[in-house]
Structure 1
């Protein structure tokens, strides 16, 4: 080494320089373990409890209820109530889907609190009005509200606290909370639609007639009508308690007031005034349902999902397919791995698009779809060298020793699939990478922003949102919820303050698209909403969920594989770059068939993906789009059975936030 170099640097600095050179050289040959990967957000750690959801204030609501002595069910219900009150891409008139682990029975319970199509909601009704799918917005988009009933059912059966105690944070927020920029700007962007509905205009446009008619970020947002509705529910509970009713009976008295009493009357009146179909009988007859979840075992881990009225079984089907491959050997997000996962999802979603629906109306072939043998047969269809664009639903009926009654429909349906390469922007930005009202995150080129705007409608349909709620406690209760519906711009039903659901749009009007999901009164639509839970050796292993429409089970599948196959921590797995496929029929939005058709080979990958991998994917027939953050946003809890502690993960892709203790 030269004398001049020695004079310039100290011995310690030179030693450090040589060490860095050595590490850089070694990194050419050795892959750093997952534990060494840096994350933008720290993992959460807790001994007593964990509360994670889509808004910081809502996570605080969960923490408040835990501090009151509530269990994970109480806290989850408090977070659910708070997120609805904050319009976190949902409201009180939406739907709730949940998985609950009961430590007393050591069983996973499924909660189905999805509303149903109202009286008069038939395929013929919508076709006469010129629709190819039920509408996206307004009173005719609404199924019956499910979240109030689902919350009451979960709280009554598995919580510890009163409804009054659990709703207190949400009621304080309804009385006035400082609104966040994302929600405030969503109101401003949707104000022209909001003006169509008088009760929505009254609530949301707090500065009507001014240049900005929505609330400003940080402004106290007051919802007097919603506060009155929640107060009525609590009054019904407290009156029942004064009459010496049990805790459970008192909570269900609040339920009855919502679905059969004066709240229901005003909801129906307000809905009908604005052109809606929901009747008092529809509300009174609807009930949340406690069900058996579906599950498959992947390498010793039991993974649980809701039944086929959700898209959840698509993740289970994907795991059955993927266990036929050595994913770890392929390497995380290698071209071979991405190609295998993409085609796996194409196969699972092709089945989802045709065979899933409300099993209370038509028995779905779910036993065949989740058969390991069927999974192996589907795995054999994956092309290792090129994406298969013309993926069609399979035939699971032989795996139930039955004959497929829909073979003629499958043949007709094949003609609908568009196998041409659709236009996908080279640099689009997923919805959750956008900063509402402020453009896009730093680092995006003008081309990227223009491309994003050109394709914004399609991406909005693909990602159309919800939130997620994750909670766990030291007693062993675990809750995973994916609630949704009534997102902005929402139509509020009368003077209830309740935003109506928009879930009707997930029905189809023709059997050729899906004989299981044609709209009928009293029927639940097949939804994208899909909480997840996993047990290992009979004990909680993971509780995880994500928002994002048709991308939900895509992101959750990869999150699970990140942990199980690639040894990532829960926070690393939450932030790790995923791929998203557009090779599926969209479940939300659009008024024409072409709006929802699959885009074969269209793929979103992380912006940091190497040029070598990108080139390999293009050679395989993929049309690539790049995103800055492609991780979810996923919320999850990992159960460290060795140390008897909780690890929380919350993606860096959104406002999601957690608190542990």
Structure 2
């Protein structure tokens, strides 16, 4: 396979449209496209399209199915989406990120000896966002009933053949799972045996979850029986989850295990419909969610990279890799200090961060001869006509705004922190993605997450609680915009993407992988736009990853999260000459045979009025088109 990939790299530039040596085929369809992280979940999307549903219906069915399959998320997690509405010809954003419970404060977590909120257990949980996000999207932009859309997930909850990836994850994490009685009851189907988790192919039954989903459908049925509209009936299911008997059992089960979530926390939370953020890169409009995600990192990077002739550098040449790495370091430094929940003060300086002038200023800070280990946050405030109120804080943190005066590494960059294996696990920590499109013009890109194994199940609901609190900070010196507070959303890594060209959908794409998400999505986009790859080639192509950033996930100590300046992940096929040149530029190299991340994508072929689907070769991602 390595030889095949090397041939692909060498022949790509001469024959960009003919280089089809991908590990998985391109998907083609003219009516619809359904792609997600699990084969059974993609089937759920296809089944929903065949019922006459639109792309939003199918995406909700895939989301429900992936939540029921546990490996990388569950029903208690969070959902982030971009939707293209063909009626208004606009992209909208769905914010279904849960919030910190009422008692979640820096003082509370510090009293327990944490530098960050924990990564597992009930204290890691924000309020559930996925149920509300799914029900909101379905009610407002779908066409089918909740009963129709949940049918595949309910059938799976009644029993489905569990895949090896999830089954083995349960077995690996069984010691943690045993701490939580409701998780133990659901996951460890062979208690006391050598292997206590299900075996691959075993029919995995979730009676409590099936009961919860049945209650949602029953609420819809009852509302319809009472003359409610389709939308109001779906929102009746929403009310039952967030204020009714499901909420009561969720809160009871959480509190029993030491959790903080209250009935008021659930009732006060609402999904939000937002304006996405956007930049234009060489005539392509690229959309991301707001700064409560890391999505603007990719927009900032595109603005910086627009100042360079990337194509002439050559795909994954030394110069290209170095330029990309430095641009990403600049934008992640900004992310790590300036991004946070826009519904809480202080207000993030996004106008400045996303301005072309600021990008040009940052591009001029790139050293072309070697890696700069001292890159810190920039000063976007002058680019929106303001004075930076955090200059003293930045200096206290160890950064000078004038990089020409800095000949030292900031304190947090001088040590590597935790082991390489632990660090990479936290860097890549996964979720899943959902991509769907239909011939009517609806397009949706979702990056849901939270409640992954090992999850704390809340009482007899069958619902795993989120672990997203760990993405908050407790110290404003790290990020004054992302300090935990009751009712606040953590700044998350989750980041679906959509691109329009000439006012029409061009690309819809997303990836799992923690802090690497916008690194891989940036390179996927450039692979298509700059180097002419199709979506399957671009999803499989060799990428790089920078480790010169603060980790968003994992570990409760500061050392667990510290950046690793100059550390770079390269593909095994990287030529020796490139390796040697990068070493001379101050990089520390590591390698893997798959570096692209599990990217899923749809390309819109307006010449032929068809869809091209790309489904990653990285994991179990799968797509179906028709």
Per the normalisation by structure 1, the TM-score is 0.91
Q: Look up the match of 1:478.
A: 443
Q: Look up the match of 2:311.
A: 328
Q: Look up the match of 1:375.
A: 359
Of 567, 577, 594 in structure 1, the residue corresponding to residue 559 of structure 2 is 594
Verify the 8 A CA contact 2:429 2:514 in the aligned structure 1: yes
Q: Look up the match of 2:321.
A: 338
Task: Determine the C-alpha separation between the residues in 2 that align with 1:528 and 1:233.
Answer: 29
Q: Look up the match of 1:636.
A: 601
Change (3 A) 1:161 1:29: closer
Task: Determine the C-alpha separation between the residues in 1 that align with 2:84 and 2:215.
Answer: 31
Q: Are 1:497 and 2:481 an aligned pair?
A: no
Change (3 A) 1:652 1:29: closer
Secondary structure, aligned partner of 1:111: strand
Verify the 8 A CA contact 1:576 1:631 in the aligned structure 2: yes
Verify the 8 A CA contact 1:55 1:88 in the aligned structure 2: no
| Cα deviations by residue, 1:142-176 (Å, 9 ceiling, x for unpaired) | 00000000000000000000000000000000000
Q: For 1:211-250, list aligned pairs within 5 A.
A: 211-250=194-233
Verify the 8 A CA contact 2:86 2:442 in the aligned structure 1: yes
Q: Look up the match of 2:616.
A: 651
Task: Determine the C-alpha separation between the residues in 2 that align with 1:420 and 1:201.
Answer: 41
Q: Look up the match of 2:125.
A: 142
Of 347, 371, 396 in structure 2, the residue corresponding to residue 387 of structure 1 is 371
Of 303, 322, 325 in structure 1, the residue corresponding to residue 286 of structure 2 is 303
Q: Look up the match of 1:74.
A: 57
Superposed CA RMSD in Å reads 1.3
| Cα deviations by residue, 1:350-397 (Å, 9 ceiling, x for unpaired) | 000000000000211000000000000000011111111111000000
Q: Look up the match of 1:523.
A: 488
Q: Look up the match of 2:272.
A: 289
Task: Determine the C-alpha separation between the residues in 2 that align with 1:633 and 1:284.
Answer: 35
> For this pair of structures, how many residues does the alignment match?
607
Offset of 1:420 from its aligned partner? 3.9
Q: Look up the match of 1:432.
A: none
Task: Determine the C-alpha separation between the residues in 2 that align with 1:241 and 1:422.
Answer: 58
Verify the 8 A CA contact 2:71 2:169 in the aligned structure 1: no
| Cα deviations by residue, 1:592-623 (Å, 9 ceiling, x for unpaired) | 11111110000001000100111111111110
Q: Look up the match of 2:386.
A: 402
Q: Are 1:210 and 2:193 an aligned pair?
A: yes
Verify the 8 A CA contact 2:98 2:269 in the aligned structure 1: yes
Change (3 A) 1:100 1:140: same
Task: Determine the C-alpha separation between the residues in 2 that align with 1:502 and 1:303.
Answer: 29
Offset of 1:88 from its aligned partner? 3.2
Verify the 8 A CA contact 1:310 1:529 in the aligned structure 2: yes
Of 119, 128, 135 in structure 2, the residue corresponding to residue 152 of structure 1 is 135
Verify the 8 A CA contact 1:603 1:622 in the aligned structure 2: yes
Of 576, 582, 585 in structure 1, the residue corresponding to residue 541 of structure 2 is 576
Q: Look up the match of 1:350.
A: 333
Moved over 3 A (4+): 27-32, 415-424
| Cα deviations by residue, 1:257-297 (Å, 9 ceiling, x for unpaired) | 00000000000000000000000000000000000000000
Task: Determine the C-alpha separation between the residues in 2 that align with 1:274 and 1:421.
Answer: 36
Verify the 8 A CA contact 1:418 1:599 in the aligned structure 2: no
Q: Are 1:364 and 2:348 an aligned pair?
A: yes
| Cα deviations by residue, 1:478-510 (Å, 9 ceiling, x for unpaired) | 000000000100000000000000000000001
Verify the 8 A CA contact 1:35 1:568 in the aligned structure 2: no
Q: Look up the match of 1:414.
A: 398
Verify the 8 A CA contact 1:417 1:598 in the aligned structure 2: no
Task: Determine the C-alpha separation between the residues in 1 that align with 2:325 and 2:420.
Answer: 21
Q: Look up the match of 1:433.
A: none
Verify the 8 A CA contact 1:467 1:547 in the aligned structure 2: yes
Task: Determine the C-alpha separation between the residues in 2 that align with 1:418 and 1:492.
Answer: 36
Task: Determine the C-alpha separation between the residues in 2 that align with 1:336 and 1:93.
Answer: 44
Verify the 8 A CA contact 1:421 1:601 in the aligned structure 2: no
Task: Determine the C-alpha separation between the residues in 1 that align with 2:497 and 2:71.
Answer: 20
Secondary structure, aligned partner of 1:64: helix
Q: Look up the match of 1:61.
A: 44
Offset of 1:577 from its aligned partner? 0.5
| Cα deviations by residue, 1:1-29 (Å, 9 ceiling, x for unpaired) | xxxxxxxxxxxxxxxxxxxxxxx9xx899
Secondary structure, aligned partner of 1:314: helix
Per the normalisation by structure 2, the TM-score is 0.96
Task: Determine the C-alpha separation between the residues in 1 that align with 2:434 and 2:562.
Answer: 31
Secondary structure, aligned partner of 2:18: helix
Verify the 8 A CA contact 2:341 2:488 in the aligned structure 1: yes
| Cα deviations by residue, 1:202-250 (Å, 9 ceiling, x for unpaired) | 0000000000000000000000000000000000001000011000000
Task: Determine the C-alpha separation between the residues in 1 that align with 2:12 and 2:502.
Answer: 36
Task: Determine the C-alpha separation between the residues in 2 that align with 1:319 and 1:417.
Answer: 29
| Cα deviations by residue, 1:72-101 (Å, 9 ceiling, x for unpaired) | 000000000000000130000000000000
Q: Look up the match of 1:443.
A: none
Gaps of 5+ in 1: 1-23, 425-453
| Cα deviations by residue, 1:40-67 (Å, 9 ceiling, x for unpaired) | 1000000000000000000000000000
Task: Determine the C-alpha separation between the residues in 1 that align with 2:105 and 2:246.
Answer: 26
Of 71, 81, 87 in structure 2, the residue corresponding to residue 88 of structure 1 is 71
Change (3 A) 1:419 1:68: same
Task: Determine the C-alpha separation between the residues in 2 that align with 1:423 and 1:615.
Answer: 26
